Amino acid sequence: MGSFLSSRIITVLLGGISSGVVIALVALSLVIIWKSTHVLNFAQGAMGMLAAFVGMNLVFKGVNYWLCLVISLAMGLVVGGITERVLIRPLYGKPEINPIVVMVGFLGVIEAAIPSIWKSNFNAVPAPFSQIYYQSHGHTILVSPFVIYQVALALGVMGAVALLFQYTDLGLQMRAAALAPEVSRLLGVRVNRLLTLGWILSSGVGALAAVIVSSGQSLAPTNMDGIFVSAFIAAAVGGLESPLGAITGGLLIGITESFILNYWSTNMAPLAGVIVLVISLAIRPQGIFTRNVTRRV
């Protein structure tokens, strides 16, 4: 059993899953905003890193890691709510390109502000669990307590969000507020509050993803940039309306990238997302889990 788990193909697969769940988590945060407000947030990764900087920098001052994680999450929720109220709300009903341009600009502002506030002193965040891989009968298995923590936290958040949108009245109201705000208002739904809530939840998920990425390595404002690109592709591959699609797309990209790294070339790894996207567009242009809508003319 140990030789099987340490075989090259299983090692590559496990490495792909561990990176894929983080991509999936960020893709899920994009899906939350899209389902809640029909806005694409190109500053999602930077907003998550801002929240991570606020919370995880306290680790270096002796604050418990888990308390810092909670602080990062709380900061992510606050940043999401303020962003929607201040930057996005005035743009509802305007051309769809407007919020995209605003959030791209906000991305640049955040990544410039972080080094100014923290003086470019980006220390390594200690991992909460051991990063030493397990051994079995002399064979190394590419799984450590830290990897299990990353995967478990990501999957837990994904499951909670999927349940929210699929099985709760709140999730139904959030989707209705995004798709038909005027009708929802007539039915007594507090649309403005739900739009803000969508951004709050999404930013919170993004903050957790940033904490996962930054644990065990240096805090840097650009930590999430590459992951965000992969996550955006994952959300498009799975379908922007589907949390399950975001998870599937993230795992596909993570596993594809791992196989390219190990069986092809490290220089070609960035093509993983492009390869998955091209294949997906050829088979299901609307997204893997997006349903075709037939209209009567």
Report pLDDT digits (tens) over 102-117: 999 999 999 999 988 8
Contact 231, 222 (CB under 8 A): no
Contact status, residue 18 vs residue 256, Cβ threshold 8 Å:
no
Report how far residue 138's alpha carbon sits from residue 160's, in angstroms, rounded to the nearest whole number: 38
| pLDDT above 90 coverage of the chain, percent | 24
pLDDT of residue 295 exceeding 50, the answer is no
* Per-residue pLDDT at 296: 45
Per-residue tokens: 99 = 């919020």
The answer to whether the CB of 146 falls within 8 A of the CB of 130 is yes
Q: Which residue has the higher pLDDT, 119 or 78?
A: 78
Q: What is the mean pLDDT of the chain?
A: 84
DSSP symbol at 140: E
Of 284 and 251, the structure prediction assigns the larger pLDDT to 251
Among the residues of the chain, which ranges form H helices? 2-5, 8-37, 44-56, 65-83, 97-118, 145-167, 169-179, 181-186, 191-214, 225-238, 243-263, 271-283
Residue 284 in this model has a pLDDT that exceeds 80: no
- 297 pLDDT band (50/70/90 cuts)? very low
Residue 21 pLDDT greater than 70, yes or no: yes
- Tell me, rounded to whole angstroms, the distance of Cα 243 from its chain centroid: 11
Q: Is 112 exposed, middle or buried (0-12, 13-18, 19+ CB in 10 A)?
A: exposed
CB atoms within 10 A of CB 63: 14
pLDDT for position 43:
92
Section 236-253 average pLDDT: 84
pLDDT tens-digit series, residues 171-194: 788 777 777 777 777 777 787 888
CATH 3.50.50 fits 2-283, yes or no: no
pLDDT computed for residue 106 by the predictor: 94
Measured distance CA(277)–CA(183) in Å, rounded: 35
pLDDT (0 to 100) of residue 248: 87
Give the residue-averaged pLDDT of 126-138: 81
> Has residue 290 got a pLDDT over 80?
no
pLDDT (0 to 100) of residue 189: 78
Higher pLDDT, 202 or 185: 202
The larger pLDDT score, comparing residue 6 to residue 84, is at 84
Q: Which of 48-62, 104-118, 148-162 has the lowest mean pLDDT?
A: 148-162
Whole-structure pTM over 0.75, yes or no?
A: yes
> How far is 188 from 138, CA to CA, in rounded Å?
64
Task: Please compute the mean of the pLDDT values over residues 157-170 and round it to a whole number.
Answer: 82
Identify which has the larger pLDDT, 180 or 280: 280
| Cα of 130 vs its chain's centroid, Å | 24
